[in-house]
Amino acid sequence: MSTFHELGLKQELLQGVEILGFSEPTKVQELAIPTILASQRDLIALAQTGTGKTGAFGLPSLHQVDTDSSAVQVLVLSPTRELAIQIAKDLKAFAKKMKGLKTVAVYGGANISTQIRALDNGCQVVIGTPGRMLDLIRRKKLDVRNVRTLVLDEADEMLNMGFQDDLDAILADTPKEKQTLLFSATMPKAIAKMAKKYMNNPEEIEVGERNSGAKNVEHHYYMVHAKDRFEALKRVTDMNPDIYGIVFCRTRRETAEIASKLNKDGYNVDLLNGDLSQAQRDDVMNRFRTKELQLLVATDVAARGLDVNELTHVINYNLPDDLEVYIHRSGRTGRAGNSGVSISIIHTRETRRIRDLERMSGKDFIKKEVPSGEEICGIRMLDLIDTVKETQVNEEQMSKFLPEALEKLADLERDDLIKHFLSVEFNQFLDYYKNANDLNAKGGNDRGRDRDRGSKNNGRDRGGRGNDRGGRHGDDSGYERFFINVGRRDGLNPVRMMGLINEQLNGSKPDFGKIDVQNNFSFFEVEPGFSNDLIHSVKGAKFEGRDVAIEPAQQDKKSNSGGGGGRSFGGKRKGGKGKRRRG
């Protein structure tokens, strides 16, 4: 391992790094910094979240800035405002000793006039989201004609969020002769295409195995019926009294529903999604970082840029549509030398996706049984006892009250005293889980994969590909199939389709089955019972300016493309059984 002094950075930057308390670079920094400084060649760097990517591109980019010029020389594009703010904060800290260097962060959801004034005052480095940056360029408030270094951070997520057109427009105004640095956690085909489009003979560095995720993260999954997903989430949380983690959901509405239900049931939780103002996001994140909150319920987009190293768990309330996003999610835990657990709550149609994740990541996914009420009560009781035993006693102050307390309790035998003590704190848990149902779903052809006690078989089951061999309903029969009159040419994809439908439906949301997006129209499956609500609630809705219509799929409208690929999506939520105080 080299030191920062050996990487060729100017003294002012080394001083800034030293103030921050860093002495040795991370692996991606050790590889990227000298590579960027040694030549003007473009660079592709593949590294997981939490590996020090900001320093890897930020330090050499700052090193090459001419502080005698007030022209914008470095552009850093990020997918979210949270990440843009975090990058700007880090770059300012690195450049603390660089006289004359100014950075400006520009992003949506904030006053554009304030950002324009900051740009008018001159700066060499601009960090921002593609939409706001393009807006400022078109207003002629951001001049990018002198850019020397262009950074595309979290490039895979920018493509997932549909920023391709914005990126094209921004890069069209930048000089042809510049150094482009592309940093990404994953390398899907779209990133390779982006590299070919925007970069010139780039070098490539890779930290860790591609799509492998963090080494010290265990991967668990629980199989339940869709209607029991929320109850399973609560049991998993109750089984881990010291949990400190993120629950990932697909949509903003789902984050609001899940966070609201958990709050009502007494959990220390809040949500993070795109509906929050920047002030609200800052408040939530401050409470989360100080562990005032145990759980954060978030969308993938909103969670970009979070910098928290001590997470014990990541919970996938739904598996993401793009399985590479799972690698990104799971990398939120097991950081900075800590261990962590990534948990997925799946239904019986998703066992094949677990196998796909095992193949992609090279990790074993351990099937766990959703704990029974009795198991949870046992765990919580022992946790309560440990908490009592570890509580510091103030002997001096307690001595004033102890005689009266002992006299008051003198008529209770030792065993009776313990029972009463436990009941005070524990009766609500006992009442809640009395007669609790078994939530474990049978199905998914999980033969040979019973590893719920930690036994492993290298992530493969002898049951082959199971019952999901292209049959329309996979493991759960009875899904209803619908036709919708919008498709790929309208910008529709599976995630946007689910968002469109969920936004229109009031109340419960359906469990989605296969989704088959065609060029001009699409098909999708949902669990039974939503037909009338779907058809009537979507009337009058528009998607990208086009009137939307849904109808039951007829035999002659079936597609033979197989484009749905057997994908399965998250399900209907079920509320808790009543309030109780966390043990």
pLDDT tens digit sequence for 109-124 = 788 999 999 999 999 9
Q: What is the pLDDT of residue 236?
A: 94
Contacts of 430 by beta carbon, 8 Å cutoff, 6+ apart: 377
* Rounded mean pLDDT, 388-400: 88
Residue 558 has pLDDT above 50, yes or no: no
Architecture of domain 480-557: 2-Layer Sandwich (3.30)
What b/e readout covers 295-328, taking b as 16+ CB neighbours within 10 angstroms? bbbbbbbbbbbbebeebbbbbbbbbbbbbbbbbb
What single letter denotes the amino acid at residue 271?
A: L
The answer, yes or no, to whether residue 24 has pLDDT greater than 70, is yes
Q: Which of 193-207, 391-405, 532-546, 547-561 has the lowest mean pLDDT?
A: 547-561
Mean pLDDT for the stretch of residues 161-190: 85
Tell me, letter by letter, the H, E, C secondary structure of 285-329: HHHHHCCCCCEEEEEHHHHCCCCCCCCCEEEECCCCCCHHHHHHH
Q: Looking up tokens 């009543």, which residue turns up?
A: 578
Q: Alpha-carbon distance 92 to 89, whole Å?
A: 5
Least confident of 32-46, 115-129, 174-188, 203-217: 203-217
Residue 91 has pLDDT above 90, yes or no: yes
H-type alpha helices, 296-413: 300-303, 323-330, 351-361, 373-390, 395-408
Average pLDDT over residues 283-290: 90
pLDDT, one tens digit per residue, over 123-175 is 999 999 999 999 999 999 999 999 999 999 988 778 766 788 888 899 988 99
Minimum mean pLDDT among 65-69, 288-292, 524-528: which range? 524-528
Burial-class residue 211 by CB neighbours within 10 Å (0-12, 13-18, 19+).
Answer: buried
CA 342 to chain centre: 11
Which tops the pLDDT comparison, 336 or 354?
354
Q: What pLDDT does 197 receive?
A: 82
How would residue 371 be classed by pLDDT, with cut points 50, 70 and 90?
A: very high
- DSSP H or E stretch at residue 118: helix 112-120
pLDDT at 349 exceeding the cut of 70: yes
Average pLDDT over residues 347-370: 87
> Quick one: tokens of 158?
């920018």
Using the predicted structure, report yes or no on whether residue 519 has a pLDDT greater than 50: yes
> What are the residue ranges of CATH 3.30.70.330 in the chain?
480-557
Residue corresponding to tokens 């950002």: 115
Q: Which superfamily, per CATH, for 217-373?
A: P-loop containing nucleotide triphosphate hydrolases (3.40.50.300)
Query: Residue 283: pLDDT above 50?
Result: yes
- For residues 128 and 113, give the distance between their C-alpha atoms in angstroms, rounded to a whole number: 15
Question: What average pLDDT does range 535-563 have in this prediction?
Answer: 70
Task: Report pLDDT for 344.
Answer: 95
Residues of the chain with CATH 3.40.50.300: 4-206, 217-373
Residue type for position 180: T
- Asked whether residue 458 carries a pLDDT value surpassing 50, the answer given is no
Residue 491: count of CB within 10 angstroms of its CB: 12
> Distances from the Cα of 220 to the Cαs of 202, 297, 307, 370, in angstroms?
37, 19, 23, 11
Q: How far is CA 271 from the centre of its chain?
A: 12
Instruction: Please report which helix (H) or strand (E) contains residue 234, including its range.
Output: helix 229-239
- Please check whether the domain covering 4-206 is classified as CATH 3.30.420.280: no
Mean pLDDT of 451-466: 35
**Of 144-153, 381-390, 441-450, minimum mean pLDDT range:** 441-450
In angstroms, the CA 433 to CA 578 distance is 11
Q: Which of 16-30, 436-450, 554-568 has the lowest mean pLDDT?
A: 554-568
| pLDDT for 556 beyond 50 | no
Q: Which of 17-26, 68-77, 367-376 has the lowest mean pLDDT?
A: 17-26
pLDDT tens digit sequence for 483-518: 899 988 888 888 788 878 877 887 667 777 788 888
Q: How confident is the model at residue 580 (pLDDT cuts 50, 70, 90)?
A: very low
pLDDT number for residue 507: 66
| Interval 240-253: pLDDT, tens | 989 999 999 988 88
- Is the per-residue pLDDT at 2 higher than 70? yes
Where residue 90 falls among pLDDT bands split at 50, 70, 90? very high
Share of the chain above pLDDT 90, in %: 34
User: Average pLDDT for residues 451-464, to the nearest whole number?
Assistant: 36
**Burial class for 375, CB neighbours closer than 10 Å (0-12, 13-18, 19+):** middle
Residue 444 pLDDT level (bands cut at 50, 70, 90): low
Residue 104 reports pLDDT greater than 90? yes
pLDDT at 213 exceeding the cut of 60: no
pLDDT at 292: 92
Range 313-338 average pLDDT: 82
pLDDT at 455: 38
Which of 36-45, 328-337, 416-425, 569-578 has the highest mean predicted lDDT (pLDDT)?
36-45
Model pTM score: 0.55
In angstroms, the Cα distances linking 123 to 66, 92, 103, 173 are 11, 12, 6, 18
